[in-house]
Amino acid sequence: MNAKRWIAIGIVAALLVVSGITKIASTLLASDDENEMSLVDSLMATDSGVAEVVMEEGNPDKRIAVLSIDGAIQDTGSSDSLLGGSEGYNHTSFMDQLEQIREDDSVSGVLLNVNSPGGGVVESAEIRDKILQIKKEKKLPVYVSFGSMAASGGYYVSAPADKIFASPETLTGSIGVIMQGYDFSELMKKVGISDNTIKSGKYKDIMSSTRPMTAEEKAIMQSMIDDSYSQFVKVVAEGRHMTDAEVRKIADGRIYDGRQAKANGLIDAFGYEEQALDALKKEQDLKGAQVFEYDSSGGSLASLFSSSVSQIVGQKSEAHQAVQLMNMMEAPRLMYLYGK
């Protein structure tokens, strides 16, 4: 191993020791008030989903929360850790932010920035349902600003918004469902690889990459796709006040630029985050409101250590590359996704 690796290992070992001592000290020094966080806990905190950063000063009793979805909407099961922060979209953290908004009576409006090609069917539905819950329980206005792309699942989660802004060049739409897999059976024959699969039922290995799908199997999977597609159409119809037929007419999976999306009724106006925020303030009587966002890194000592380790070992380590490879080889799943 080179010097950088040895240094990284040394830092990791030191962090583990410090973390263990910290937890012991925190337990011994904890007060009767369970909600009071000790200084040591604050410094070493790794779960900072509710930490806030004020973007614009204003009325603290009438606030606007700014949220962001940047990247594929997937729950990878990862979260911020002592040895490395999360990269890109973090589903657990984002859902925590939505729940914090639901519980915070000082929040009077929400601006959601979306820059995503979409993602998982379940994750997209979970976000949309939470947004609807917030709107129903708290009567909060939700405005959305699209980035360069807000396609498929990115549009699905935005559909309940009171108003959607996008650039004329934004790529959006892609209303539909996709499930992909690969058939390596012919290649396996050429290189002399055979498959030995023992299964409890004839459909247990449906969409296996070691054999072609049968017509019956394709029909089974198509029925699942059709169900999820119908749900997507319903979500758009309800959110955009369109009929089912109107949505299906434009929901053939194609993407639209911002101009086409506006003509089709998928967005309300042209603009960026700044214009969306100004409109939210003006139209929802929120002038003078404090504007803030949630800081998922939290600025804790743990995040500082994480940054140092990342700089030493590099973000794209062998382990990280291995995880990416495994994700690419995962079992086929239903996706509200444009591209792959």
pLDDT number for residue 331: 72
Q: Are residues 33 and 125 in the same domain?
A: no
Asked whether residue 335 is domain-assigned, the answer is no
Distance CA 337, CA 152 (A): 5
Residue 119: exposure state from Cβ atoms within 10 A (0-12, 13-18, ≥19):
buried
Q: Are residues 162 and 263 in the same domain?
A: yes
Asked whether residue 228 is domain-assigned, the answer is yes
Q: Are residues 57 and 102 in the same domain?
A: yes
Q: Are residues 259 and 193 in the same domain?
A: no
Query: Which pair of structure tokens corresponds to residue 69?
Result: 């979805």
Q: Are residues 78 and 165 in the same domain?
A: yes
Q: Which helix (H) or strand (E) segment is 165 a member of?
A: strand 163-166
Distance CA 22, CA 86 (A): 22
Q: Are residues 193 and 261 in the same domain?
A: no
Beta-bridge partner residues of 52:
294
Q: Are residues 33 and 182 in the same domain?
A: no
Distance CA 37, CA 18 (A): 18
Q: Are residues 122 and 263 in the same domain?
A: yes
pLDDT number for residue 36: 47
Domain count, the chain: 3
Write down the residue that tokens 């939700």 correspond to. Answer: 142
* DSSP class of 312: H
Report, as residue numbers or ranges, the catalytic residues.
Answer: 152, 204
> Do 190 and 155 contact (CB within 8 A), yes or no?
no
User: What confidence tens digit (pLDDT) does each residue in 280-311 have?
Assistant: 999 999 999 999 999 866 554 445 554 454 45
pLDDT number for residue 9: 62
Distance CA 122, CA 120 (A): 6
Beta-bridge partner residues of 143:
111, 163
Query: Taking the model in full, what pTM does it have?
Result: 0.78
Asked whether residue 340 is domain-assigned, the answer is no
Q: Which amino acid is present at 255?
A: I
pLDDT number for residue 88: 79
- With a cut of 70, say whether residue 116 has pLDDT above it: yes
As a residue count, the chain comes to 340
User: What confidence tens digit (pLDDT) does each residue in 153-209 have?
Assistant: 999 999 999 999 999 999 999 999 999 999 999 999 999 999 999 999 999 999 999
Domain that includes residue 90, residue range:
49-174+254-298
